[in-house]
Structure 1
Amino acid sequence: MWGGAFWLSRKVREQALDAARELEELGYSRLWTSGGFKDGFPSVYGELLAATTTLELASGIISIWHADPETTAAAVADLESRYPGRFLLGVGTSHAPVVDARENTSYTKPYSRMVEYLDGLDVASTPVPTDRRVLAALGPRMLKLSAERAAGAHPYFVPPAHTAVAREALGSEPLLAPEVAVVLETDETVARYIAREYMRGYLALPNYSNNLRRLGYTDEDLADGGSDGLMDVLIPWGDLDSVVAGIEKHYAAGADEVAIQVLTADPFTFPSEGYRQLASALLS
């Protein structure tokens, strides 16, 4: 499952811990959460791991503009010492509009910055091993780097066609774990409203829009929150069978695991019923 930034909020911490326990009981293997790190390594990671016994946790994705590699590596080492093998560090370059607006720095040479960050993780006092980190990767250079300098890639906001491209770029061994948002809603008007509100913000970010253009989508597809055709390949929606079929397309395209993000009309509640429905179909 993919949890998002909402999981990091102190205001809903108890609900998040309860939700994580239920995910474990339902049989999910890993929870991906939005990265954070603006004010230090999120304490919620340790709390979520402490609240569960087998559920693994991945940061999806910590921005490399947020914290220096030494601090990141120390935090990862602390989690590894307390919860061996259960935390996977995900790092990414974020997006120019986000970094320029919020990080008080300039979004320049993101690929080179990632290489330097990985170098820093390698030489930190407590290095982060290659097999305990993944990269947010969309384009060919970052996918190649994911195979060479990390355990694999965690692409976000991608259709199955990109999963196929990513698998070819990575090769057969590295982890490929795309995020896939879904809407368990059979009313088409409602489902498209939920999906389009989610899509609108991401389509405004050049890394995502340029990635979709590489796959052949046009400006018309990306306008006004996205075309229906783009929505149908990006966000499986409908009844349970339709949603599961959309998820399975990513496995057929080469994904090792799919980080499923359940979208609802209220993005500030935990979609527990969706977790249960998908568990009944995917994990039985």
Structure 2
Amino acid sequence: MGDVTGTGSAGSLKEAVGRYGIWSVGLRSEDPARRGELTESAAELEQLGFGALWLGGSSGVRHAVPLIEATSRIVVATGIQSIWQYEAAETAAHFADLEKTHPGRFLLGLGVSHAKLTERYHRPYAAMVGYLDALDAAGVPAGRRVLAALGPKMLELSRDRAAGSHPYLVTPEHTARARGILGDAPLLAPETKVVLDTDPDSARGKARDSLATYLALPNYTKALGQFGFTEDDFAGGGSDRLVDALFAWGDDDRVRARLESFHAAGADHVALQLVDGGPRDALPRAAWRRLAELLR
């Protein structure tokens, strides 16, 4: 499996990340006491055959370093680094340092976050353009970054100024629209959530617990509204229809079919976030093993 090297051709990047990766807040922990658990988890995920680790929780470049040091092949990406939290010059400097020691192993995922989460939120599209300009000037290759893009303008920016897009909380229908905007070459790597539970009430309950935070963020509800979801779907923690559209749950065949629907819609890679009702920053290693077996 090839590395993401140089400016990174679309083909080499797609080959490097493969069809599936793991998206996790827990893998970005800064607690020194958890470092051994983090690095062991990263090494095991590489052995299980996943192509990329996506570090949630507005991770920075530094969060990728211990995971890259503990592995030999897997791509480690920020999923997603907020442009308001990390200055472009700082990001470029950390990128350059990591590239010297571990060339081709890191993918910079960038996003504009949400107005409710940062006081600095202002003219997000223009701010992203300015951030990319600064990264260009500092020598961070466009082929080594992806953008969290939901709407058409940001998807076009992902196509023109990055290697592609890593959309979060989307459906296969969004993936199909995104592919149409991106064209064939750029990487399209949506995140989706997986609940390994066959009981409808239990599975949807876990899903709603996870979904509540996102339904309070207009960027997501606006994007979902473009695909026929209404305020009724967003009420009460999310309708069954919304939950079933955003979460892969059920038996192995149902989960596989749901994940495959993203590929059928045009995804190159799908970043899988395990949802099991436990702490969001946990490392569900047994469930990751089961997921890897399910995908074989």
Q: TM-score, normalised by structure 2?
A: 0.89
Deviation at 1:35, TM superposition (A): 5.1
Q: Given the alignment of the two structures, is residue 120 of structure 1 paired with residue 140 of structure 2, yes or no?
A: no
SS of 1:261 mapped into structure 2 = strand
Residue equivalent to 1:8? 28
Deviation at 1:214, TM superposition (A): 1.1
Deviation at 1:6, TM superposition (A): 2.2
- Provide the C-alpha distance between the structure 2 equivalents of 1:224 and 1:204, rounded to a whole number of angstroms: 12
Measured against aligned partners, the alpha-carbon deviations of 1:102-143 in whole angstroms (never above 9, x if no partner) come to xxx3x210000000000000112xx11010000000000000
SS of 2:282 mapped into structure 1 = coil
Measured against aligned partners, the alpha-carbon deviations of 1:73-114 in whole angstroms (never above 9, x if no partner) come to 1111111111111100000000000012xxxx3x21000000
Q: Given the alignment of the two structures, is residue 167 of structure 1 paired with residue 189 of structure 2, yes or no?
A: no
> Which amino acid in the other structure matches residue 39 of structure 2?
L
- Provide the C-alpha distance between the structure 1 equivalents of 2:292 and 2:24, rounded to a whole number of angstroms: 19
Q: Given the alignment of the two structures, is residue 279 of structure 1 paired with residue 292 of structure 2, yes or no?
A: yes
Deviation at 1:42, TM superposition (A): 5.1
Q: Given the alignment of the two structures, is residue 179 of structure 1 paired with residue 168 of structure 2, yes or no?
A: no
- Residues 128 and 35 from structure 1, CA distance in 2 versus in 1: closer, same or farther, beyond 3 angstroms? farther
> Which amino acid in the other structure matches residue 265 of structure 1?
G
Cα root mean square deviation, aligned: 1.3
Equivalent residues of 2:76, 2:107 under 8 A apart:
yes
Structure 2 residue runs of 5 or longer lacking an equivalent are 1-20
Deviation at 1:36, TM superposition (A): 3.3
Residue equivalent to 2:73? 54
Q: Given the alignment of the two structures, is residue 240 of structure 1 paired with residue 223 of structure 2, yes or no?
A: no
| Larger RCO (CA under 8 A, 6+ residues apart) | 2
Residue equivalent to 1:93? 112
Deviation at 1:269, TM superposition (A): 2.3
Q: Kindly report which structure 2 residues correspond to 1:1-284, keeping only aligned pairs within 5 A, or say none.
A: 1-11=21-31, 12-34=34-56, 36=58, 41=60, 43-100=62-119, 105=120, 107-124=121-138, 127-267=139-279, 268-282=281-295, 284=296
Deviation at 1:244, TM superposition (A): 1.3
Equivalent residues of 1:195, 1:231 under 8 A apart:
yes
- Provide the C-alpha distance between the structure 1 equivalents of 2:73 and 2:85, rounded to a whole number of angstroms: 29
- Provide the C-alpha distance between the structure 2 equivalents of 1:184 and 1:35, rounded to a whole number of angstroms: 22
- Provide the C-alpha distance between the structure 1 equivalents of 2:246 and 2:57, rounded to a whole number of angstroms: 22
Equivalent residues of 1:64, 1:91 under 8 A apart:
yes
Deviation at 1:67, TM superposition (A): 1.9
> Which amino acid in the other structure matches residue 252 of structure 1?
A
- Provide the C-alpha distance between the structure 1 equivalents of 2:61 and 2:293, rounded to a whole number of angstroms: 31
Equivalent residues of 1:7, 1:13 under 8 A apart:
no
Q: TM-score, normalised by structure 1?
A: 0.93
Percent pairwise identity: 49
> Which amino acid in the other structure matches residue 116 of structure 2?
P
- Provide the C-alpha distance between the structure 1 equivalents of 2:236 and 2:22, rounded to a whole number of angstroms: 25
> Which amino acid in the other structure matches residue 5 of structure 1?
V
Deviation at 1:222, TM superposition (A): 1.1
